[in-house]
Amino acid sequence: MYWASCVGSHRTLIILFLVILAARQAQAAPSFSLLQAPGGLGGTLVGSNYLNTFGTMNALGLGTPQGGLTVAVLANGALYFTPFQVRFRGLVGGQRASLTAYVSTNFTHPLAQVIQNCPSTATCTTSGGFSTMSTVQAAPSVVVANGGNATVTSGIGIFLPDNNGATAFSGVDNTAIVTYVMRDVANNAVLQTATWSFNATPNNTVQTAVKLTLATAAGGLTVTTAADYSMNFGNVNGLGFGPGAGLTTVAAAGGVVYSTPYLLNPVFTDFTSTTATIKVFVSTNFAHPAVLQARDAAASSGPYNNIGLTAGTATQITAAAANRSSITRFLGLFVSNVNGATSFRGNDSAILTFTLTVP
């Protein structure tokens, strides 16, 4: 009886050992997943790798970005970005892991698209959390510095800088690949790798973009932007008496010119040309053009020349406008001192149309 009892106990021990062994074999290996964050861009998992695209972008951040992306307009370009989630699994016994990333294959035009990284320790829903991702395998960017079996939020972005001249690019470029590497924090052993490729549909596309804004110059009339830009010259007369604040008067044959400085701010990106042309014409003239005329000058003292009345006769302001420059120009309102049947008193207005053209 005792011997039989020992055998039974021995069998029980063997069975228990096999159960423990099976449990250990079923333990999942450490791994990570890249998941869509709430409100962020979704991707496609192919095997253990990810496909994604940022779609159509431009360095001025104009238009609506692809769903899930946020665009931040910066002083020297635009940043398109999205948060995503990193999930670690399979870490055991207090094991900790890190996740790093580097650009293993860059865009064909890396000066037009610069991949950005936001670590989990930063705020990845604003542009301030992002910086340029490393392109060096031996010195990758940190995505998650020290994590356990949990889900955290990181971010990825593409910065489109102003890029005019010889290095300018516009078109499709979806060649970039980012490699993510999960490591054991204790011994730096690689636990898993995966890639993020920017070659899904729609294509990763860089657009050219232009923008021209008007602004108030020091000492000049206020340029308002309630809808289109506007200026109010207030009360004027053919003798130049009592010009309003922001206005000066300049003598002119047959009347006087009320003048104000204003600013033109051209912005353009991804053009082979580094300069642009700005023109202006009177698209809707005054109702009394014999008494009131829009004029233009490069200096406060003049000379003031009539602004063209059609697109074909538009007045050229400059043919050498630089990107993100600020050009001071002077808008003049000629007021005739004529008397008699052709004279006019009352309210009147005109509309000027400005064009920015980049070769």
pLDDT digits (tens, 9 = 90+) for 240-294: 999 999 999 999 999 999 999 999 999 999 999 999 999 999 999 999 999 999 9
The class (CATH top level) of 210-357 is: mainly beta
Average pLDDT, whole number, for the chain? 92
The CATH number that domain 29-206 falls under is: 2.60.40
Confidence class for position 91, pLDDT limits 50, 70, 90: very high
For strands 177-184 and 292-297, give the pairing.
unpaired
More confident residue, 11 or 308: 308
Alpha carbon dihedral 113, 117, 118, 121, in 10-degree steps, equals: -160
SS3 172: strand
Distance CA 199, CA 63 (A): 22
Task: Read off the pLDDT of residues 17-38 as tens digits, 9 standing for 90 and up.
Answer: 344 334 444 457 999 999 999 9
Confidence class for position 213, pLDDT limits 50, 70, 90: very high
Check for a shared fold between 29-206 and 210-357.
yes
- pLDDT at site 14: 40
Q: Which residues contact 221 (CB under 8 A, 6 or more apart)?
A: 231, 232, 233, 244, 246, 247, 260, 262
| pTM tops 0.95, yes or no | no
Predicted confidence (pLDDT) at residue 117 exceeds the cutoff of 50: yes
- pLDDT at site 16: 37
Domain positions in the chain: 29-206, 210-357
